[in-house]
Amino acid sequence: MFSDSRAALHTLVMIEDITLAVWDPDLHRGCLLKERLDMFAKREAALFSGDWEGTPCNDACFLSFDVCGELETRVARSARQAGETVFILLVADRNCNLTAMFRPKIRPSGVLFRPVQSVHLRDMLGEIAEEMDRLARTETDDAFIFKSDGASRRIPFRDILFFEACNKKVVLHTTGQEIGYYDSIDNLASVLPPNFVRCHRSFLVNVRKIEELRGADMVLKLVGGVCIPFSRSQRSAVEKQLTINS
């Protein structure tokens, strides 16, 4: 699976503040790829082999497979749904037909063909880190930047559904992920853009994601079918922003 050069192994450049995930239905092969990635990144890569749905978002996902079938395309779509800015890298044999992966709902960032050379892995991670840094510097106003588990994270505001207070933490919710970190709803209410409104003492919602306000049930239905509560005292503030952002 891997083709190593001595030069690559003797010029290790550790990539910081980048979270990685490896998916491969062949767990042994996935382990080998994970071990190789761990040589170049300071944060250990996560390893998965089943369905991707519900998997925490990572900065880069390496999807390794033999055939591009229904499971593989479903995993790739789930990885993309977890975040618009996720880097999706495909790892496959040269004779594998990857046509199904190159579609708007997946948008892979690159392809690595087996045998994978260590120098190519290192260069790919370096490019991802550089692009993440460029995005953080040029698009700060369009994204929420915070630290979770010691790593700097950047989530575009357009991807965020709502924030929820939970056990002295705040949980950021998008369509495909939940990320907890230390903060408070009170602090967030003072720093987020106007389209983020406090709808309940424990919730801040992105009004652009609201599909329906159900007054009888006191809940907001968001895109994707997610429902969160709102309080009577916050109803007018929510309705005002809904009017502004409609």
Q: Find, among 12, 8, 7, 11, the residue nearest to 120 by Cα.
A: 8
Q: What share of the chain is helix, strand, coil (3-state, %, to 5)?
A: 35, 30, 35
DSSP letters along 105-140, please?
A: TT---EEEESSEEHHHHHHHHHHHHHHHHHHHHHSG
> In the numeric block, which tokens belong to residue 85?
């800015």
In this prediction, residue 199 has a pLDDT band, given cuts at 50, 70 and 90, of very high
17 vs 72, higher pLDDT: 72
In this prediction, residue 8 has a pLDDT band, given cuts at 50, 70 and 90, of very low
- The confidence score (pLDDT) of residue 188 equals 93
2-138 and 144-244 in the same fold:
no
- The confidence score (pLDDT) of residue 7 equals 43
Domain boundaries, the chain: 2-138, 144-244
Cβ neighbors of 42 (< 8 A, separation 6 or more) are 14, 15, 16, 17
152 vs 156, higher pLDDT: 156
- pLDDT surpasses 60 at 132: yes
pTM, rounded to two decimals:
0.61
DSSP letters along 126-180, please?
A: HHHHHHHHHHHHHSGGGEEEEEETTEEEEEEGGGEEEEEEETTEEEEEESS-EEE
- The confidence score (pLDDT) of residue 53 equals 65
The owner of tokens 């579609």 is: 103
**CA atoms lying within 13 Å on the CB side of residue 158:** 8
Q: How confident is the prediction for the chain on average, in pLDDT? A: 85
CATH of span 2-138: 3.40.50.2300
Phi, psi at residue 27, to the nearest 5°? -65, -35
Cβ neighbors of 191 (< 8 A, separation 6 or more) are none
In this prediction, residue 140 has a pLDDT band, given cuts at 50, 70 and 90, of low
Per-residue model confidence as pLDDT tens digits over 15-50: 666 889 999 999 999 999 999 998 888 888 889 987
Per-residue model confidence as pLDDT tens digits over 218-230: 999 999 899 999 9
Pairing of strands 20-23, 60-64: parallel
Lowest-confidence pick of 19-28, 47-56, 81-90, 98-107 = 47-56
In this prediction, residue 85 has a pLDDT band, given cuts at 50, 70 and 90, of confident
In this prediction, residue 71 has a pLDDT band, given cuts at 50, 70 and 90, of very high
- The confidence score (pLDDT) of residue 19 equals 84
Topology (CATH) of 144-244: OB fold (Dihydrolipoamide Acetyltransferase, E2P) (2.40.50)
Q: Do 241 and 193 meet the contact criterion of CB atoms below 8 Å apart?
A: no
- pLDDT surpasses 90 at 176: no
